[in-house]
Amino acid sequence: MGFGQFLAAPEIKLKVVTYRDVFQNTAQETSRFGEEYENSSAVIKLDQKDIAKLAIKDGETVIVKNSFGKVVVAARKSDYEESHAGIAYMVNSPWSNSLVPDETGGTGVPKFKDFEVTVQGAKGEKATGISEIF
Amino acid sequence: MSEYYVCTGCALLCDDIEVETENSKVKTVHAACRKGVARMKGCSDHLECTIDGEKTDVDSAIAKAAEILRNADKPLIFGHGNSSSQAQKMSIGLAKKIGAYLDDTSSFCQGPVIEAILQDKLKTCTLDDIRHKADVIMFWGADPSNSHPRHLSRYSYFPRGKERQRGWEEDRTAICVDVRKSETAVICGDNRFYQIPVGGDAEFMDALVSALSSKVPKTSFGFDAKRILELANVLKKAKFGVICVGLGLIYSLEDLNPLFRLMDKLNEVSDFNLMPMVGQYNMRGFNQNLYEETGYINRVKFNSETGVAEHGPEFSVVEALRNKTVDAALIIGSDPLSSLPLSVSRYLAEIPLITIDPCRNLTSSKAKVTIPCALGGVESGGTAVRMDGVEVELKKILETENLPDAEILRKIMEAI
């Protein structure tokens, strides 16, 4: 056990934009309770600069939270996307929906593609399972 | 000649699907995208007929569902995106009979655009028009490579249409406006990808209107004016243009006025249509069916005595659950516990809940009554409405013991 265990992991504020992914969507068609759906859903895509700020490695888990919820998901470095420091991408799923605010201004439409979270390294904690979300 | 079936994986409703069956299961699916193949092969988590988690027969489940709805003061009927038009019409009838709140997924996605199309406020066309005529195709806040995988190959970019014999190489220009470099943006190419900041869509639209009016386009986020002018030139020269509108755009706009302004300007200087990138296979069908019946596309509450529908955001599924105004819910062809913010949908677990679906999902796992239905387009037929408003007939491929969705609703209605 190293000294690092006792240090608080750095925490950053990010804006989340949700998106669709055909592989995750396919897994959803087969089973919403399957491992493939979980692995392709419990993910947050981060810019390289934000990964560096969090002092984590690509693929490690992070805690993503706000006043509406908290999930542990795998952090992945974005690939073909242009640099997007300060903005994170999450695939549309029960994991992202755990964090979408219920505020609508009475319009009936939540801000699915524009909400704020804080992200922090999860120090090896496992990603939240579908049965733990609710 | 081969027999072709219709895929219900999304609102493209691809009608060129061939299947091979074995032991009463779909073994192989030809021509569909990967999502469509998974849809047609069916899920591995079949929904069982249950009351309070205990297995039961369908008649008992239907009787219990009827009892819940009969005893509710303010029931909600929600879903319908993955339901046949026949089931949707039954749902409307049921909501009228019991004075229910009635809503669908369009309430928090493509609703405003579908409404404007049905009210003739936006010029639109069919997918076949796009395939045969479109030379300039804009994907705005849409990523069909992921959401509608055959959109580009079957209709909008790659095919050689009647008036577009040279296909994508020479005859078509694909443009992407998005906050994120999506896979569709990659196909459009860096020169034809316009990355804007989150929430910057309305401003970018107005800048484009300026450019189309030969004025210098300006944005608060300093988008290169030369690139906007260059884009305006491409749009001006279009013989048959189309804007494929995705959720990225709809969620970004406070109202549709910037889109109306852009479409008006484009149709002054060129010829442009709008295509709503509807997700679930029969969401547009629900909107059209309810519109014919009430003049509204979603978000209604019926008066059980007069049959008159009231309409407004307070009757939307999100506000009804957020404000806890409903006291029972019937969910059909949808999984709101997955697709709505948990802070909103959590309330569903506090009220008597009925789920009708072919597969287990998060909502069914919290339901008091679950009733499995036949999978539309595979285990039952009926009709559905494509994203462009074209009605498509679904064909049954396999036999099943599960009743079609419309039949379950008819029996519930009878039992009330």
> Comparing C-alpha atoms, which of B370, B372, B371, B368 is closest to residue B327?
B368
Instruction: Verify that B285 and B326 share a domain, yes or no.
Output: yes
Q: How far apart are CA B280 and CA B247, in angstroms?
A: 13
Q: Which pLDDT score, from 0 to 100, does residue A83 have?
A: 86
Residue B298 lies in a domain: yes
The domain that holds B299 is classified in CATH as: 3.40.50.740
**Percent of chain B, pLDDT > 70?**
100
- Count of pairs with CB atoms under 8 A, one residue in A, one in B: 140
Instruction: Verify that B362 and B227 share a domain, yes or no.
Output: no
Residue B234 lies in a domain: yes
Last residue of a domain, one of B244, B276, B308: B276
Which tens digits make up the pLDDT trace of B199-219? 999 999 999 999 999 999 999
Span B359-370, average pLDDT = 97
User: A81 and B181 in contact by Cβ < 8 A?
Assistant: yes
Which range of residues forms the domain containing residue B351?
45-107+281-376+402-415
Looking at this predicted complex, what is its ipTM?
A: 0.94
Instruction: Verify that B238 and B119 share a domain, yes or no.
Output: yes
User: B45 and A31 in contact by Cβ < 8 A?
Assistant: yes
- Pull the structure tokens for residue B375: 């999978």
Span B138-165, average pLDDT = 96
Q: What is the mean pLDDT of chain B?
A: 97
Instruction: Verify that B268 and B285 share a domain, yes or no.
Output: no
Shortest distance between the Cα of A76 and any Cα of chain B, in A, equals 16
Span B133-141, average pLDDT = 98
Q: What is the DSSP string of B106-119?
A: GGGTTHHHHHHHHT
Alpha helix stretches (DSSP H) within B189-272: 201-212, 225-236, 247-252, 257-269
User: B107 and A93 in contact by Cβ < 8 A?
Assistant: no
Which tens digits make up the pLDDT trace of A68-101? 999 999 999 998 777 899 999 999 999 999 999 9
Instruction: Verify that B119 and B198 share a domain, yes or no.
Output: yes
Q: Does B38 touch chain A (CB under 8 A)?
A: yes
User: A108 and B316 in contact by Cβ < 8 A?
Assistant: yes
Q: Calculate the alpha carbon distances from B189 to A19, B133, B150 in Å.
A: 19, 22, 19
Best B342, B347, B348 member to test A by mutation, with max A CBs in 10 Å, is: B342
Instruction: Verify that B156 and B97 share a domain, yes or no.
Output: no
- Sheet (strand B136-140) strand order: B193-195, B173-178, B136-140, B241-245, B272-276
Q: How far apart are CA A43 and CA A74, in angstroms?
A: 5
Last residue of a domain, one of B245, B260, B276: B276
> Comparing C-alpha atoms, which of B199, B203, B193 is closest to residue B145?
B193
Q: Is the pLDDT of residue B143 over 70?
A: yes
Residue B390 lies in a domain: no
**Percent of chain B, pLDDT > 90?**
98
Instruction: Verify that B152 and B81 share a domain, yes or no.
Output: no
Q: How far apart are CA B182 and CA B195, in angstroms?
A: 10
Instruction: Verify that B189 and B319 share a domain, yes or no.
Output: no
Q: Is the pLDDT of residue B191 over 90?
A: yes
The domains located in chain A, with CATH, are 10-133 (2.40.40.20)
Residue B24 lies in a domain: no
Last residue of a domain, one of B226, B252, B276: B276
Q: Is the pLDDT of residue A4 over 80?
A: no
Q: Which pLDDT score, from 0 to 100, does residue B127 have?
A: 98
Residue B13 lies in a domain: no
Q: Which pLDDT score, from 0 to 100, does residue B167 have?
A: 83
The total domain count for chain B is 2
Length of chain A counted residue by residue: 134
B residues 95-154 closer than 8 Å to A (CB): 107-108, 143, 145-147, 149
pLDDT bin (cut points 50, 70, 90) of residue A2 is low
**A71 chain-B contacts, CB cut-off 8 A:** none
User: B38 and A26 in contact by Cβ < 8 A?
Assistant: yes
Nearest CB to B338 within list A15, A27, A94: A94
Q: Which pLDDT score, from 0 to 100, does residue B1 have?
A: 46
Instruction: Verify that B169 and B202 share a domain, yes or no.
Output: yes
Residue B18 lies in a domain: no
Instruction: Verify that B123 and B268 share a domain, yes or no.
Output: yes
Span B387-408, average pLDDT = 97
The domain that holds B207 is classified in CATH as: 3.40.228.10
Instruction: Verify that B299 and B264 share a domain, yes or no.
Output: no
Residue B392 lies in a domain: no
Residue B5 lies in a domain: no
Span A30-49, average pLDDT = 96
Spatial contact of B38 and A23, defined as CB atoms under 8 Å apart: no
Which tens digits make up the pLDDT trace of B332-361? 999 999 999 999 999 999 999 999 999 999
Q: Which pLDDT score, from 0 to 100, does residue A3 have?
A: 60
Shortest distance between the Cα of A40 and any Cα of chain B, in A, equals 14
Interface of A with B (CB under 8 A): 15, 17, 19-23, 25-27, 29-34, 68-69, 80-82, 84, 87, 89, 92-94, 97-98, 100-102, 104, 106-114, 130, 133-134
Instruction: Verify that B313 and B411 share a domain, yes or no.
Output: yes
Which tens digits make up the pLDDT trace of B81-128? 999 999 999 999 999 999 999 999 999 999 999 999 999 999 999 999
Spatial contact of B11 and B387, defined as CB atoms under 8 Å apart: yes
